[in-house]
Amino acid sequence: MQRAFVKNLTVKKGVWIMAYPLVEGNIGEFCILNGEKVAFDSATGRSLFIPTDDITYYESVRFQEGVLLFWEDHMQRLEKSVAAKEAFPIEPDLYHKLASSLIKDSGLTDGNVRVVITHSLNLVYLSNMTYPTVDMYENGIVTTSLTWERVEPHVKVFRGDYKKAVAEASSRQTSFGLPYEVILRGNDGKFVEGGRSNFFVLYKDTVYSPSEDLILIGITRKYVKNAIAEAGLRLEEGAFTMEELVRMETEEDDGPPKMGLFVTSSPFDILPVASIDEQKFSSADCPALQELMVSYQKIVHEYIDTHAHVESF
């Protein structure tokens, strides 16, 4: 726990809570609160931007070509998060109906929906999401590091202290530019996950990921694991320090790069990491990572094809 934030925290049902609003980064004029359409500029709508001490569970779900990607997995994770703390029932079918309604009314085919619930309410709204550019997929992203060991990383709730620390790290320029993502490392110096993503190290024919006890198990991660097998690679448990990554990166070899660092999440899919802090990596030029990215996209498009008739607008 970062000491600088302790004075702003309270403990509620075993979770360190820093008051945080129910809505952030919203787009559009309306949300759906407890099944009712609510304007953000109404009294009720404005109250959603006031920080609350309630434990707030959430899922951000990407929709593409009108299809809510991997919806079932998001709802399973939401249910597990709630069960870990308060064990009240959730209503995935209702949330899906409300999300689909919002998407239809917006006229968008691609974007992001956020489902937020507490013990007393459910909320669905369209949220602003910065998606990677073509250049980021082709050349990799700039990242920075943050030493932070998350409390109960497998439980997805709003934690204001964590979000503040990640936001502050994201604002620090590196010699390669402003970071697009923050890579968290434990007190042992080993990188474990991204601030809003899972982190992987591909080296030769093996993809390494930290123990799942240490990370929030991302939805994309499940399908990336399938893509790893499809691409003929192995998945093993493992985490590395900066010194170890640099040693693998600079290993003498006349051929193409054998190491590729990458992050995964619903908005990112698979993104190569071009730098961490002031250290450059050749991830985007790694042939095995390029093949893995292609394998993952095949899985995404198969999901869209099989669900388009259900969610057609």
Q: Which residues, 6 or more positions from 119, have their beta carbon under 8 angstroms from its beta carbon?
A: 54, 55, 86, 88
Q: What is the pTM of this model?
A: 0.84
Domain of residue 96 covers 3-126
How many domains does the structure of the chain reveal? 2
59 and 164 co-located in one domain: no
How far, in Å, are 23, 123, 177, 290 from residue 157 at the CA level?
Answer: 13, 14, 30, 33
The pLDDT of residue 1 is 26
120 and 240: one domain?
Answer: no
Which residues have a Cβ under 8 Å from the Cβ of 146 and sit 6 or more positions away?
A: 165, 166, 169, 182, 183, 184, 185, 195
- Residues written for the chain: 313
Closest CA to 55 of 88, 31, 25: 88
pLDDT digits (tens, 9 = 90+) for 204-251: 999 999 988 888 888 999 999 999 999 999 999 999 999 999 999 998
Which of 107, 126, 145 finishes a domain? 126
Per-residue pLDDT of the chain (313 residues; tens, 9 = 90+): 232 223 334 444 444 456 789 999 999 999 999 999 999 999 999 999 999 989 999 999 999 999 999 999 999 999 999 999 998 999 999 999 999 999 999 999 999 999 999 999 999 999 998 889 999 999 999 999 999 987 777 677 767 788 889 999 999 999 999 999 999 999 999 999 999 999 999 999 999 999 888 888 889 999 999 999 999 999 999 999 999 999 999 986 778 899 999 999 988 899 999 999 999 999 999 999 999 999 999 999 999 999 986 554 4
SS3 251: coil
Q: Is residue 308 part of a domain?
A: no
- CATH number, domain of 210, equals 3.20.10.10
